[in-house]
Every structure is written in C-alpha cells, then in structure tokens.
Structure 1
C-alpha cells in the first residue's frame, strides 16, 4: 500500500497492534493503514478479530472490562490511546453503526438530533437533521412524519436512520460493523449505494462476512484469520491487505485465495 499512501493521506496507522481481554489475546501483531476517502473492508471467518479491531478505532473497547490495547494506533498522526486523548471526543470524530439497527425509542427527529444535543450543539438543529436525513436518502420518506417513532420504521429505514444519527455530528470516519447482515437484499443494496455516496465526505471502515459486498463497495480489503491456542481459544491476525481488485483476483496469500473462493471459512 506504500505507493498509494503518497497520493492518499493515512487516517489510521496501525503498527504491531495486540488486543487483550484479560489474559486472553484476541488479536495479534496487526500492521496496516486506513486511507482517507476510501472504504476499507475487514473480512475473515468468525472469531478472527475484525470487530475487535474496528472497536479500537473509536476506543469502544475501553468500555469492555479487562480490554487492553498494546502497540501503536495513530489517528491523523496522533496517538489514539495517548493519555491526553479524551475517548468521548474520539467517538464524536469517529462514528459507529452497528449490526442491528438500534434507533432510540424517540421520534425520528430526536434520533438524529440526539448526538448534537448531547454535544451541546443547538444552533441550526432543524437544518442539521434535514441534511443528515437527505444524505442517507431518508428525508423524502419521513419528512412529513418526523414526530413518528424511529423504532416504527422498516429495517432498512432504521439502519439509514442510525447512519443519519452518526453523520449528523459530521464525523471524520464512519465505522460499520456488519451493517447489512440483518437486512433484506433491497435494503442491503440501498445501504451499499449509500456507502459509495458517503465516501465522498467520509472515510469508511466496514466489517462484513459478505464477500460480494466487500467486492462491490470496498476500495481496500483486509483479510483476517485466526489460529487455535493451547487453552482452547483463538487469536486473530491479519493475513494481508491490498486493493480489493488485487485481493479478489490476485491475492498474494493462498489462505486469502481459499477464503475468498469459499474453500474455507
């Protein structure tokens, strides 16, 4: 990836990263970059540390008792886990969208406005909510029902509402953990189209088990695998990362080729 980095700025630099939950190492020795304005997909079998790495990028691992991150993780040149760094500020800059759409039991308007209000942003609230809903293609569907509960929307609409909630704060990065796994094919396509539109404004990192989805939306793909430990657990590790085109058509590592072709995983 080094030749591309000259043209595209690094948002995250990951160097020799290990993640522990108590005494158990869940992820070992990960070194990779996340590039600005690109969609990077993290793929691999269950238990290989994809979501663990994703949570490192906005420090939500901090909320898990016993979690510890070792190694180096820089965000735009700054140590993300430096003592002076406020995790709350990190999560404001690096938004998160989860596997299950999780709108709050509030109105559509209040769902999108929630993060703004929590962060003390009161000016142009109506405009900010409208812009976020337009950016996710939801405005025309809900503009006459903004007082309706967000939980009453369809599954695909709920997920777009959650994305609107994340981008209302105008973050720098959007993290997506299996954002389409609970959705039907039509809703999935809308989210994928949305990701391609959003990358004009945001850097996106997505965890997905769907190989076709990674091939459709990602500019870069990182393949993770896991190995068994003597204690019966598994530790994840990065096998390789490259452009999606190369990973899907000319991967360097045989394990990557086997996984993408469906021979294992």
Structure 2
C-alpha cells in the first residue's frame, strides 16, 4: 500500500494530490483511489508502504488443491443460529437430542416442523443425517435442508446447510418421496418433493459432497419411480405437468432431463 504526492502538480488544496493504492511490481497490477496515475514514477514522494519489506510472492503461488474425495473443514459450510445449536446438541448428546430439539422448535413462534432420516449418501459406509425443517406456509423462507455426517470420534460434521426458498422460487416445505440410486453410481440418493409447488429435488453426492439439484418441471399429479427405458436404472414418471400426458425424467450421466 502506498500514499504519495503527485509530483507534477505540486502542493494543491482539497486533497487533490493524494493517491492511495496497492501496486504489484511483479504482476504489473495496481489499484488506486485518487486523481492520479496508478503507477509510481518517482518514489521520492512515497510517504509510507505496507508491508515495510514487500512480500513479492503473494498471489503468485496457487493454493494447494484438496483431494477430490476429501471433505475437509475448509470446504464445509459455516453454520449459525438453529443449525449451530443443532450441531452443538448432537455433538453433546448424540441423536437423542433431535426429539428434544424438535419439541422446542414446535413450541416456538413461528413453529418449526422437522423430519429426519439416516441415509449413506456419500458411499463411505456411514449413514448421513438428512434433516428437513419448515414452518407454516406463511413463512416459506424458514424451510431448510441440513446434511450432517458422523465422524469417527462420535462428533458430527455439517456437509450441507441451505435454505430451500430463494428470491426466484418459494418452497414452503419439502418431503422425502423416495430413497434409491437415481444417478447410477451405486450410492443412494433422495428424491424430495414440495407438495405446495410440485417441484422435485434430487439430493445426491459427488466426491463425498452432497448437492441438491432441481428436477425439471413442476407437476401436480401422480409420481412413480420405475425403469422407464429398460436400462435397469430408476427413472421418474409424473402426471399433471405443464406439458400434456405423462412426463418421464431420466439421469443422462450429468443431469436430470425429460425424455420426449
């Protein structure tokens, strides 16, 4: 960081001769706030620098890559509020804490309803805890999905914690509709449905990291999971969609798509 006087103009009022900025000599980059050029041509007017001895290698070395199969603390979400309390109680008392927490959530205003299920989403042989929370339809922003993983020492790690509603889509609540291998990787997935909107979500995991993916189209009719195209894999069949007739949705190896 530097603060220097513009040497071409001399002493003028109102602070017009000052520039504050950051300059990287090695990378040829500079950021500034002021009225002058972002490059120092005469260092005799530099008043202070930070750090005192520039660390020229900053920004030149790439950060270390984490193994694809690792889920480290650096990649886990930061939790707060009710999820932070949930994590604390689970680490303190284990799964029996869930029933007590649920009673507390139901008694608060607005009330929070929760359902949970243990499923091995990551394929490590240990069943993750999938927790779905929602309030009444008047409070759709309180719907939440949290996935926690048990660790060897008996503690819990939050793998995913996200709101289900967004600025562009209101999801008052979701329910677990199906548990099975939807992505043909030999690992269980969850199919979640919003009864209020007909939106489907698939909760899957890639390299040990859970992901929530919206399934195309909102439908208000019946739903079944069956092998549509004879490949031995589970597919999704729905009625009451925007298009006429029954809609079939398959996993194409990368995403969920509707078949003609």
Instruction: Tell me the TM-score normalised to structure 2 length.
Output: 0.21
- Please state which structure has a larger fraction of its residues in helix: 1
Structure ID, larger Rg = 2
Instruction: Tell me the TM-score normalised to structure 1 length.
Output: 0.21
Report which structure shows greater RCO (CA 8 Å, sep ≥6): 1
